[in-house]
Amino acid sequence: MAVIIVLSGCSTIQENDISLELEQEQSYAPMVNLNGTIYASYDLTKYEKYSTGEVFGEIKRRVPSSDIENANLTSNYYDEGTVIYNVKEDNKIFLIEESPGIYSILEKLE
């Protein structure tokens, strides 16, 4: 019976460690590399504030945060195929589609 209690205790510690690691991995700003410039995602928006322009491109690969500066159209957050749009009202920002009709604003990381 003591062996079962000890194993059960180890299992709980491992689950807590895994949960902590997942929280730490997700505690970063979503970033996208567009032509060598890093953009960060700050806000969600609908059509009220900005209008989508032409498609700029799609995320080609999801990479670790440490590799974000190495390749165009990569992200540390967004999956492959996520569409990025130019914005009609402001050529300094982009919109990235989170879900149908919902976009995040991508602004240059300063």
C-beta separation of 77 from 41 below 8 A? yes
Strand-pair partners of 20: none
- The structure's pTM equals 0.70
C-beta separation of 87 from 76 below 8 A? no
**CA angle centred on 90, ends 84 and 95, rounded to 5°:** 20
pLDDT in tens, 2-60: 544 444 444 444 444 443 443 444 457 899 999 999 999 877 655 567 889 999 999 99
